[in-house]
A and B are shown apart, each in its own frame.
Chain A
Amino acid sequence: ELKVEQNPLFLSMQEGKNYTIYCNYSTTSDRLYWYRQDPGKSLESLFVLLSNGAVKQEGRLMASLDTKARLSTLHITAAVHDLSATYFCAVDPLGGADGLTFGKGTHLIIQP
């Protein structure tokens, strides 16, 4: 059974600081997705990582994938309040032949 673990599950940080969210998974996969969810809203796709060493950046967010370590990271640089949300990683172990397996999410609060 595929397990996807995120940590931390809750993070409160100040504006201007840097931090990293970790996503570990238990089976071989080279397809990993990051989503953002605002309170009461749907999930918004942030990044799609499709190979070992893949790195994607958008604004203050950067995601990377290490398939050998079965680890993805979401790094936040100089956080701003608008990045407050819940962030999910999800793994697709069968190359699209199955649904996604999600982590439990990281609830991120960025305080002024």
Chain B
Amino acid sequence: DADVTQTPRNRITKTGKRIMLECSQTKGHDRMYWYRQDPGLGLRLIYYSFDVKDINKGEISDGYSVSRQAQAKFSLSLESAIPNQTALYFCATSAASGAQTQYFGPGTRLLVL
């Protein structure tokens, strides 16, 4: 079984709709991250969390919100989706201490019409 899972894997929604992307991990990591990937732009950080009570904005947090329901779960919400939020969204996790690589989930491909 995958250590980092994301649901849904693909989603089509309409402008103005609220949607939630979910991430779960079994790695026991404290740190979790949400990134979006756009063609030719690499990955950009949306939000990150170091534990259930610690949520931080990343480079491009406008239009997004997150919830850390438990150590293993980190959800990303688009309160009112717009077409330029069409992208590939990745969740990642890392251990708390030292310089730890981030482990990425399989991604959620989102299309906003």
Interface residues of A, Cβ cutoff 8 Å to B: 4, 9, 31, 33, 35, 41-45, 48, 50, 88, 90, 92, 95-96, 98-105
Which residues of chain B are near A9, meaning CB under 8 Å? 40
Contact B99 A92 (CB under 8 A): yes
**Pick the contact of B43 from A41, A50, A88 — CB < 8 Å?**
A88
**Pick the contact of A99 from B48, B103, B105 — CB < 8 Å?**
B48
Closest Cβ of chain A: how far from B110's Cβ, in Å? 15
Which residues of chain A are near B33, meaning CB under 8 Å? 99-100
Which residues of chain B are near A95, meaning CB under 8 Å? 99
Contact B90 A43 (CB under 8 A): yes
Contact B48 A96 (CB under 8 A): no
For window 91-113 of B, CB contacts with A under 8 Å fall at: 94, 96-107
Which residues of chain B are near A44, meaning CB under 8 Å? 104
How far, in angstroms, from A41 to B9 measured CA to CA in the complex? Answer: 11
Closest Cβ of chain B: how far from A26's Cβ, in Å? 14
Which residues of chain A are near B100, meaning CB under 8 Å? 96
